[in-house]
Amino acid sequence: MITFDDGSVRFSYRVAGIALHEGYVFMQRGGWDDIFFLPGGRAELLETATTSLKREMCEELDVEVTVERLLWIGENFFWHRHRAFHELGLYFLMHLPPDPHLYVKDDDIIGWEKRRKILFRWLPLDSLADAPLYPTFLRQELLNLPETIKHIVHTDGFLEPELIQH
Protein backbone atom coordinates (compact mmCIF):
# COMPACT_ATOMS: atom_id res chain seq x y z
CA MET A 1 0.00 0.00 0.00
CA ILE A 2 1.13 3.49 -0.74
CA THR A 3 1.44 4.88 2.76
CA PHE A 4 4.41 6.36 4.57
CA ASP A 5 5.14 8.18 7.81
CA ASP A 6 7.18 11.34 8.23
CA GLY A 7 7.45 12.08 11.92
CA SER A 8 3.94 12.44 13.29
CA VAL A 9 2.31 12.75 9.84
CA ARG A 10 1.06 9.84 7.76
CA PHE A 11 0.57 10.14 4.00
CA SER A 12 -1.87 7.77 2.34
CA TYR A 13 -3.00 7.32 -1.26
CA ARG A 14 -6.58 6.01 -1.17
CA VAL A 15 -9.14 5.08 -3.81
CA ALA A 16 -12.85 4.96 -3.06
CA GLY A 17 -16.05 4.09 -4.87
CA ILE A 18 -19.46 5.72 -4.87
CA ALA A 19 -22.34 3.31 -5.42
CA LEU A 20 -25.82 4.83 -5.45
CA HIS A 21 -29.16 3.03 -5.42
CA GLU A 22 -32.69 4.37 -5.00
CA GLY A 23 -31.69 7.42 -2.93
CA TYR A 24 -29.01 5.65 -0.89
CA VAL A 25 -25.21 5.59 -0.96
CA PHE A 26 -23.14 2.51 -0.11
CA MET A 27 -20.84 3.21 2.85
CA GLN A 28 -18.27 1.32 4.91
CA ARG A 29 -17.13 1.38 8.51
CA GLY A 30 -14.83 -0.71 10.63
CA GLY A 31 -16.46 -3.05 13.11
CA TRP A 32 -14.68 -1.11 15.85
CA ASP A 33 -16.14 2.39 15.32
CA ASP A 34 -19.14 4.35 14.08
CA ILE A 35 -17.41 6.52 11.48
CA PHE A 36 -18.58 5.92 7.91
CA PHE A 37 -16.49 6.39 4.80
CA LEU A 38 -16.71 5.34 1.17
CA PRO A 39 -15.65 1.78 0.39
CA GLY A 40 -12.23 1.29 -1.12
CA GLY A 41 -8.74 1.29 0.25
CA ARG A 42 -5.11 2.10 -0.29
CA ALA A 43 -3.55 1.66 -3.69
CA GLU A 44 -0.54 -0.56 -4.28
CA LEU A 45 2.61 0.42 -6.17
CA LEU A 46 2.36 -0.12 -9.95
CA GLU A 47 -1.44 -0.49 -9.72
CA THR A 48 -3.87 1.87 -11.43
CA ALA A 49 -6.52 3.54 -9.29
CA THR A 50 -9.38 1.64 -10.95
CA THR A 51 -7.54 -1.66 -10.50
CA SER A 52 -7.00 -0.77 -6.83
CA LEU A 53 -10.69 -0.08 -6.33
CA LYS A 54 -11.73 -3.31 -8.04
CA ARG A 55 -9.20 -5.29 -5.99
CA GLU A 56 -10.31 -3.76 -2.71
CA MET A 57 -13.98 -4.49 -3.39
CA CYS A 58 -13.14 -8.05 -4.38
CA GLU A 59 -11.02 -8.57 -1.24
CA GLU A 60 -13.52 -7.02 1.14
CA LEU A 61 -16.87 -8.10 -0.30
CA ASP A 62 -15.97 -10.80 -2.83
CA VAL A 63 -17.69 -8.86 -5.63
CA GLU A 64 -16.62 -7.49 -8.98
CA VAL A 65 -17.57 -3.85 -9.40
CA THR A 66 -17.74 -1.76 -12.54
CA VAL A 67 -15.87 1.52 -12.28
CA GLU A 68 -17.53 4.23 -14.36
CA ARG A 69 -15.63 7.52 -13.96
CA LEU A 70 -13.53 9.68 -11.66
CA LEU A 71 -15.61 12.27 -9.76
CA TRP A 72 -13.23 13.91 -7.29
CA ILE A 73 -9.56 14.23 -6.52
CA GLY A 74 -9.43 14.99 -2.83
CA GLU A 75 -6.58 16.27 -0.72
CA ASN A 76 -7.78 15.48 2.79
CA PHE A 77 -6.11 16.65 5.98
CA PHE A 78 -7.29 15.29 9.32
CA TRP A 79 -6.29 13.99 12.74
CA HIS A 80 -6.99 10.36 13.68
CA ARG A 81 -5.72 8.23 16.56
CA HIS A 82 -3.04 10.70 17.70
CA ARG A 83 -1.66 11.24 14.21
CA ALA A 84 -2.00 13.91 11.50
CA PHE A 85 -2.99 12.53 8.10
CA HIS A 86 -2.41 13.83 4.60
CA GLU A 87 -4.55 11.71 2.31
CA LEU A 88 -4.71 11.88 -1.46
CA GLY A 89 -8.03 10.34 -2.45
CA LEU A 90 -9.45 9.46 -5.84
CA TYR A 91 -13.24 9.00 -5.76
CA PHE A 92 -14.90 7.03 -8.55
CA LEU A 93 -18.50 6.39 -9.47
CA MET A 94 -18.88 2.60 -9.38
CA HIS A 95 -21.63 0.03 -9.81
CA LEU A 96 -22.12 -3.07 -7.68
CA PRO A 97 -23.22 -6.32 -9.33
CA PRO A 98 -26.97 -7.09 -9.25
CA ASP A 99 -26.66 -9.51 -6.32
CA PRO A 100 -29.72 -9.03 -4.03
CA HIS A 101 -27.73 -9.51 -0.80
CA LEU A 102 -25.78 -6.33 -1.64
CA TYR A 103 -28.92 -4.18 -1.69
CA VAL A 104 -30.32 -4.88 1.79
CA LYS A 105 -31.13 -1.42 3.17
CA ASP A 106 -32.07 -2.21 6.77
CA ASP A 107 -29.03 -4.13 7.98
CA ASP A 108 -25.25 -4.21 7.76
CA ILE A 109 -23.56 -6.24 5.06
CA ILE A 110 -20.47 -7.98 6.44
CA GLY A 111 -17.16 -7.91 4.63
CA TRP A 112 -13.61 -8.73 5.62
CA GLU A 113 -10.20 -7.13 5.38
CA LYS A 114 -7.70 -9.78 6.29
CA ARG A 115 -9.16 -11.00 9.59
CA ARG A 116 -10.94 -7.76 10.49
CA LYS A 117 -14.68 -7.41 10.05
CA ILE A 118 -15.87 -4.51 7.90
CA LEU A 119 -19.47 -3.40 7.92
CA PHE A 120 -21.15 -1.97 4.84
CA ARG A 121 -24.42 -0.09 4.98
CA TRP A 122 -26.66 1.87 2.67
CA LEU A 123 -27.17 5.38 4.06
CA PRO A 124 -30.05 7.54 2.82
CA LEU A 125 -28.71 10.49 0.86
CA ASP A 126 -31.19 12.78 2.62
CA SER A 127 -29.64 11.94 6.03
CA LEU A 128 -25.98 12.65 5.21
CA ALA A 129 -25.94 16.12 6.81
CA ASP A 130 -26.06 14.50 10.25
CA ALA A 131 -24.15 11.30 9.48
CA PRO A 132 -20.71 10.56 11.00
CA LEU A 133 -19.29 10.54 7.47
CA TYR A 134 -15.68 11.38 6.57
CA PRO A 135 -14.30 13.22 4.82
CA THR A 136 -17.10 15.61 5.67
CA PHE A 137 -17.12 17.29 2.24
CA LEU A 138 -18.97 14.17 1.05
CA ARG A 139 -22.06 15.15 3.05
CA GLN A 140 -22.78 17.83 0.43
CA GLU A 141 -20.91 16.57 -2.63
CA LEU A 142 -22.73 13.21 -2.74
CA LEU A 143 -26.01 15.07 -3.22
CA ASN A 144 -24.90 16.58 -6.52
CA LEU A 145 -22.29 14.55 -8.41
CA PRO A 146 -20.10 16.65 -10.70
CA GLU A 147 -20.26 16.29 -14.48
CA THR A 148 -16.49 16.70 -14.71
CA ILE A 149 -13.64 15.87 -12.34
CA LYS A 150 -13.53 18.20 -9.35
CA HIS A 151 -10.44 18.89 -7.23
CA ILE A 152 -11.19 19.36 -3.52
CA VAL A 153 -8.77 20.44 -0.78
CA HIS A 154 -10.40 19.70 2.56
CA THR A 155 -9.53 19.84 6.24
CA ASP A 156 -11.71 18.09 8.76
CA GLY A 157 -11.35 20.57 11.58
CA PHE A 158 -8.89 18.52 13.59
CA LEU A 159 -5.74 20.19 12.27
CA GLU A 160 -4.68 23.75 12.72
CA PRO A 161 -5.09 25.47 9.32
CA GLU A 162 -1.64 27.06 9.56
CA LEU A 163 -0.05 23.58 9.49
CA ILE A 164 -1.23 23.03 5.93
CA GLN A 165 0.90 24.70 3.29
CA HIS A 166 -0.99 26.18 0.33
Residues in contact with 41: Cβ distance below 8 Å, sequence separation at least 6, in sequence order: 1, 14, 15, 52, 56, 59, 60, 113
pLDDT tens digits along 15-34? 999 999 999 999 999 877 78
In angstroms, the CA 126 to CA 77 distance is 26
pLDDT tens digits along 54-85? 999 999 999 999 999 999 999 999 987 788 99
Architecture of domain 3-163 in this structure: Alpha-Beta Complex (3.90)
Give residue limits of the domains in the chain.
3-163
- Give which of 39, 32, 152, 140 is closest to 88, Cα–Cα: 152
The size of the chain, in residues, is: 166
